[in-house]
Structure 1
Amino acid sequence: MLPSIWFLLWGLLWAVYFMLDGFDLGLGILNPFVAKTEGDRRIVYNAVGPFWDGNEVWLIAAGGVTFAAFPTTYAILFSSLYSALMLVLFGLIVRGVAFEFRGKVDSPGWRRLWDAALFVGSFLPAFLLGVAFANIFAGIPIDEKGIYQGTLFTLLNPYGLLGGLLFLMLFLVHGALWLAHKTDGDLQQRAGATAKALWWILAAVAVAFLVATWYATRLYVNYLKNPLLFSIPIILIPVLTVGALFATRYFAGKAQWGKAWISSAVTIVSTTFFGVAGLYPNLLPSSLNPTYSLTIYNSSSSPLTLKIMLTVALIFVPTVIGYQSWTYRLFHPKITQEDLAYDEAY
């Protein structure tokens, strides 16, 4: 029972991370295209400035849960995907530095440098996380000793690249909707138009990914093998995902940007759970031989460790949710040109 609970929490933490950090990763990529003036670019930075570092807490939490609850999976996952995860880490570091350094020197060249750094530092995590999870869904070539039999380019297979493109499009739409929600005027109109245009690409990529998943993974097989356990997710997860995706476009068409962003957030969470539920009870399937796969049973910590961690999680996860909710409430007003005059502004 405890391994299953921690599997659910593991998936939930990743889903929350994608939902929250997804919009600022998407905005970092969109910044050169939707921001036409220096004022616009500063508004983009300030639209995510109070949130981006807090959003990354969920990435740390997801990695920490993998390490503490499923240490064998953590060891093999981070060694197998070492190159890809290091690129993600470098991207996140560069992005963080861009936020803090961009306004330190009053020079157009200096600002262009860090705008480019923000773009690269946002694109790499958004794309490579999708590549990584798509490969996990399909199976990683690990042998009976847990040794990865491949390279970085092994991960860049057609299904992995399609997963990267799916994450990229999810985050781009999510980011454009957040900017439309946080701004007014021409910038809001450009952000809204961008979100609506990108939605069609997202829908096409999502359909392609679902079809490819049938052939490249065993996710659907796992659903059908566990009809009792997954009877509710089989019905609810796909319906919720499709419904939220269409609700995103509907609310965007009505210029109800807050509702559209919430719908996009639900789309990201339910998409993540579609893959996570299909993996159960696997954490890291082996594409070489299913018996080499790491599951919640052969890679979990001791029952005592899982019990102690569950107690800690029940205390601190609500605490994190509380302070992040306060942050979002505190900084909920739209960003205007007048806000850029404050010393704390980016």
Structure 2
Amino acid sequence: MDIVAVAVLGFFALGYLVLGGSDIGTGMVLPLLARDSRERRLVVTAIAPFFLGNEVWLVATVGVLAGAFPALESALLHEYFAPFVVLLVGWVVRDTGLWLRGRVDGHRWRASCDTAIVAGSWAVALSWGVIFTDVLVGSSAGPIGALVVAALFGAHGLAFASVRLTGPPRDRVRRLAGPVGEGPLLALTSAGLVVLGLFVGLRLAPASLVADHATLAFLLPPLVLATPVLLAPQAWVWWTFRHRVVKPAYL
């Protein structure tokens, strides 16, 4: 039962890093990819169908953490309360920019929303960087480690954008990515985030902080049964929007 709980936690956490990291990273590098309002809207369209579904993975991770690993959740919130607050604020700011960008047809409005998307994405990435770095090597390497983790998110965003975009934004991604290639680059950055998540997980040792068996017996069966229901619509969305973006959407 303990192994199942750890496996479920790892599944959702790593899924969030890879999937959620794609739209976080794309938001971070928006100024590098787009030169005008139309191009920025094209980049936003690349992540528009996915970002809400990607956030479900984080919500699921927090839910599993709270239910199956309450001691670990309490320790993390106590130790990293400030970074989590910044992360939450950045998350809200970024999503606000994404949701409201297309609601008003004005240059200043769209520019403000674009700024919110970029700033919020950086806030989320740097917050994770601070937390992950402290877990792995301690607070002494905080600023450098946070930038390294943020750079990994940004590279993952570039890789994701390279397989979604067309036209000049895609050309800029290819120049930034170099000779690696679009598919291999996305696989490489995805693997980097997975390895990072695994090292953080090993350091936290959740198996030693698992809830009692009665709690797990109550929580895990419905969670395992509900997971396919959660994954099916997301798989449908990814399949439906698997093609490259050729024109802006409503965002």
Match of 1:181 in 2: 163
Structure 2 counterpart of 1:276, one-letter code: G
Deviation track 1:227-261 (CA, whole Å, cap 9, x = no partner) reads xxxxxxxxxxxxxxxxxxxxxxxxxx264x23432
Match of 1:301 in 2: 211
- Cα RMSD (Å) of the superposition? 1.9
Richer in helix (by share): 2
Query: Structure 1: how far apart are the matches of 2:212 and 2:147?
Result: 38
Structure 2 counterpart of 1:190, one-letter code: R
Query: Structure 1: how far apart are the matches of 2:128 and 2:135?
Result: 11
Are residues 345 and 22 of structure 1, via their aligned partners in 2, closer, same or farther at CA, if it must alter by over 3 Å? same
Structure 2 counterpart of 1:164, one-letter code: A
Question: Greater CA radius of gyration, 1 or 2?
Answer: 1
The offset of 1:103, in angstroms, is 1.4
More deviation, 34-43/2-11: 2-11
Match of 1:271 in 2: 196
More deviation, 320-329/309-318: 309-318
Deviation track 1:281-329 (CA, whole Å, cap 9, x = no partner) reads x34xxxxxxxxxxxx33x4322021123221222122222222111111
- In the alignment, structure 1 residue 129 sits paired with structure 2 residue 128: yes
Partner of 1:43, secondary structure, is helix
Gaps of 5+ in 1: 140-156, 197-252, 284-295
More deviation, 92-101/69-78: 69-78
Query: Structure 1: how far apart are the matches of 2:63 and 2:43?
Result: 31
Match of 2:174 in 1: 192
Match of 1:172 in 2: 154
Count of residue pairs the alignment pairs up: 251
Structure 1 counterpart of 2:52, one-letter code: D
Are residues 259 and 321 of structure 1, via their aligned partners in 2, closer, same or farther at CA, if it must alter by over 3 Å? farther
Deviation track 1:109-165 (CA, whole Å, cap 9, x = no partner) reads 1111111111111001111112112212346xxxxxxxxxxxxxxxxx342223322
Identity %: 27
Alpha-carbon contact 1:177-1:192 (below 8 Å) kept: no
Alpha-carbon contact 1:172-1:195 (below 8 Å) kept: no
Query: Structure 2: how far apart are the matches of 1:275 and 1:254?
Result: 27
Query: Structure 1: how far apart are the matches of 2:222 and 2:96?
Result: 32
RCO higher in structure (CA 8 A, sep ≥6): 2
What is the TM-score when the length of structure 2 is the normalising length?
Answer: 0.92
Are residues 61 and 27 of structure 1, via their aligned partners in 2, closer, same or farther at CA, if it must alter by over 3 Å? same
What is the TM-score when the length of structure 1 is the normalising length?
Answer: 0.68
Match of 1:260 in 2: 185
Deviation track 1:66-123 (CA, whole Å, cap 9, x = no partner) reads 1101112212321221111011001101111111111111111111111111111100
Structure 2 counterpart of 1:177, one-letter code: A
- In the alignment, structure 1 residue 161 sits paired with structure 2 residue 71: no
Gaps of 5+ in 2: none
The offset of 1:3, in angstroms, is 2.7
Are residues 322 and 263 of structure 1, via their aligned partners in 2, closer, same or farther at CA, if it must alter by over 3 Å? farther
Query: Structure 2: how far apart are the matches of 1:192 and 1:259?
Result: 12
Query: Structure 2: how far apart are the matches of 1:316 and 1:161?
Result: 39
